[in-house]
Structure 1
Amino acid sequence: MLEQQLVNGVVLGATYALFAIGFTLMFGVMGVINLTYGVYFALGAFAALWSTQGLGLPIWAALPVGALIAGLVAVVLDTLLLTRLRKAKAPELSSLMVTLGATLFLYAGMAAALGTEIRRFPAEVFSGGAYSLGDVRVGTTQILILAAAIVLMLALLALVRGSRIGLAIRAVAENPDAAALMGINGALMLRVVSFLSGAIGGAAGVLVGLNFNAIQPFMGEHMMLRGFAVIIVGGLGDLRGALLAGLILGLAEVLTAAYLSSTLKDMIAFALLVATLWFRPLGLFGRAAAKRA
């Protein structure tokens, strides 16, 4: 049924958009594709899982715990890995290679410490009820995912577009030297961006882990391809583009799986990425959006 598939696609697309918004914020301000972002995604999911199993927290309380831990880890890793490169004004390829090496190291460490088997949230953490709207059934898990994604995305957009901190972040993204002359602490703003991006990635990990009830150390690898596709289709560094492209990708995957073949849905992200690079390399929002935070 088309209506049901559209609902499923919107929920999945909202999760992709949430993941990609943190990714594109990090790229838009720092100017580097930080490949450790997939690690924050998995860490957030595991932190929430530990909160529910070890502390007995409900999922609505475990979600901010996962986001907080992922955000703090993002700040630590950014400080350790990229601060020296920024001071040396190293080329972007250096940052990319450093984060690639760190990602491989961290994935291996997580697999050794946590194991590679799939973990699941306890059954009592969140009820699996559903509501019927005509012929469409909407699960309570889907409602939570969609509501959390909308709230987090709106909060981030309000912060970046309507606050003094957001103005400072956009100033650093546009011209770090000019921002420093205006008294803006660029290093502090970069740490704020690292925390926000990591927290959003961690929250997305919790939501995806909840949606599929499957958590394992390498779950971020699967999402990184979606993240690349979304930020390229939407426009590099543009938050609005990430939101729209995430919804497009989610709907495309669900409709492909429903009406063509489930084996083809993993090709959609790559196909959208290639088509965008061929026909509109600047993304949906064009050149004007490419430098925005």
Structure 2
Amino acid sequence: MDTLLQQLINGVMLGSIYALIALGYTMVYGILRIINFAHGDILMVGALTTLSALNALGAHFPGLPLLAQLLAALLAAMSVCALLAMAVERFAYRRLRNAPRLAPLISGIGVSVLLQTVAMLIWSRNPLMFPQILPMDPIAVTAGSAEHPPAIITVTGIVTVALALAVMGGLWLLVEYSRLGRGMRAVAENPQVARLMGVNPNQIITLTFVIGGAFAALAGVMMASNYGSAGFAMGFLPGIKAFTAAVLGGIGNLRGAMVGGILLGLIESLGAGYLSELTGGVFGSNYQDVFAFMVLILVLVFRPAGLLGERVAQRA
């Protein structure tokens, strides 16, 4: 039972990060019907920008509390990633909106490679240690025993889950009840009709990329805080997994991205945990990626619309 609870805790924490990244994929797809494969690398830029900002603040303002340094660095990273996402939309996707679907896909992959290369030149190709801001001391959730260690969680894990849920809930309220959200839904339904109703599709699309980029930066900081390191290649695999989560929940559907992210995190953690236990540790966490891509294949074969489906009107 302790093992099950520990894997559930790990799965929810991991799934919260996936869900936060998946929101960027699903918002862009819901409006433009394209997959922004550069989204995971924007996450990487956010984590490394935060690291650079923390180093600069520590050098110039050594008396500033660590939490204040983290907040200032996070705001700087979210701003950088929002501007970067805006630039990606403007130069990599805007002219390809009416092109065959393969063209934006190739453009996104090209931007991904470009961002990784630039990051490698700026921050080096070696993983960098991310400073420990929040306590990482384990908190026992169960009593445990000599044979079975207790299930544990950390303050960083608790903050990660709580912050991810708060951000996801705030985004859902924004889309459902704000003027910007109504504009997003209108452009997703029919950009030509939305333009006639006074909505500027270019502005809405740009703001969608900006919001997704800011959330990617936040997810990057969460990942770097939990794993203790950041590097130029850190965003590629989580980005692909977040895309899997978006497909699992129903890409284009915000609630689907949230549900898909949490489910994918649980599937990975439970699968890897019990596989390790059944094989005596021969196969373990190194094989958790297999479960994510097995899920992607099964969903694409048996339920391409995802668990919550997607209701989108046909464009004229």
How far the C-alpha of 1:164 sits from its partner, in A, is 0.9
Select between 151-160 and 128-137 the one with higher mean Cα deviation.
128-137
Structure 1 residue matching 2:311: 3-state secondary structure: helix
Structure 1 residue matching 2:47: 3-state secondary structure: helix
Structure 1: where are the runs of 5+ without partners?
Answer: none
Q: Which residue of 1 is the match for residue 8 of structure 2?
A: 6
Asked if 1:113 is matched to 2:128, the reply is no
Q: Which residue of 1 is the match for residue 225 of structure 2?
A: 210
Q: Which residue of 1 is the match for residue 296 of structure 2?
A: 273
Q: Which residue of 2 is the match for residue 182 of structure 1?
A: 197
1:48–1:66 Cα contact (<8 Å) kept: yes
Asked if 1:128 is matched to 2:136, the reply is yes
**Can you list the C-alpha shifts for 1:236-266, whole angstroms capped at 9, x where unaligned?**
2111111111111111111122211223211
How far the C-alpha of 1:209 sits from its partner, in A, is 1.0
Q: Which residue of 1 is the match for residue 48 of structure 2?
A: 46
Select between 254-263 and 201-210 the one with higher mean Cα deviation.
254-263
% identical aligned pairs? 35
Structure 2 residue matching 1:286: 3-state secondary structure: coil
Asked if 1:253 is matched to 2:268, the reply is yes
* Paired residues for 1:121-270 under 5 Å: 121-123=130-132, 125-135=133-143, 136-260=151-275, 261-270=284-293
Structure 2: where are the runs of 5+ without partners?
Answer: 59-67, 144-150, 276-283
Structure 1 residue matching 2:41: 3-state secondary structure: helix
**Amino acid aligned to 2:50:** A
Aligned structure 1 segments of 4 or more residues deviating by more than 6 angstroms: none
- In structure 1, how many angstroms separate the alpha carbons of the residues matched to 2:73 and 2:158? 17
1:160–1:169 Cα contact (<8 Å) kept: yes
- In structure 2, how many angstroms separate the alpha carbons of the residues matched to 1:105 and 1:5? 36
Superposition RMSD on alpha carbons, in Å? 1.7
- In structure 2, how many angstroms separate the alpha carbons of the residues matched to 1:234 and 1:290? 19
Q: Which residue of 1 is the match for residue 76 of structure 2?
A: 65
- In structure 2, how many angstroms separate the alpha carbons of the residues matched to 1:290 and 1:127? 48
**Can you list the C-alpha shifts for 1:5-57, whole angstroms capped at 9, x where unaligned?**
21111111111111111111111112111121122110110111112211135
- In structure 2, how many angstroms separate the alpha carbons of the residues matched to 1:21 and 1:98? 20
Tell me the TM-score normalised to structure 1 length: 0.93
- In structure 2, how many angstroms separate the alpha carbons of the residues matched to 1:289 and 1:67? 30
Asked if 1:83 is matched to 2:83, the reply is no
- In structure 1, how many angstroms separate the alpha carbons of the residues matched to 2:38 and 2:125? 18
Select between 189-198 and 226-235 the one with higher mean Cα deviation.
226-235
How far the C-alpha of 1:131 sits from its partner, in A, is 3.1
**Can you list the C-alpha shifts for 1:73-109, whole angstroms capped at 9, x where unaligned?**
10012112222233xx222221112222222122112
- In structure 2, how many angstroms separate the alpha carbons of the residues matched to 1:50 and 1:144? 22
**Amino acid aligned to 2:196:** L
1:23–1:201 Cα contact (<8 Å) kept: no
Equivalent pairs, count: 288
Structure 2 residue matching 1:219: 3-state secondary structure: coil
- In structure 1, how many angstroms separate the alpha carbons of the residues matched to 2:141 and 2:114? 47
2:40–2:240 Cα contact (<8 Å) kept: no
Structure 1 pair 289–104 and aligned structure 2 pair: CA distance change class (3 A): same
2:135–2:154 Cα contact (<8 Å) kept: no
Structure 1 pair 206–290 and aligned structure 2 pair: CA distance change class (3 A): farther
2:21–2:40 Cα contact (<8 Å) kept: no
Structure 1 pair 51–290 and aligned structure 2 pair: CA distance change class (3 A): farther
Structure 1 residue matching 2:139: 3-state secondary structure: strand
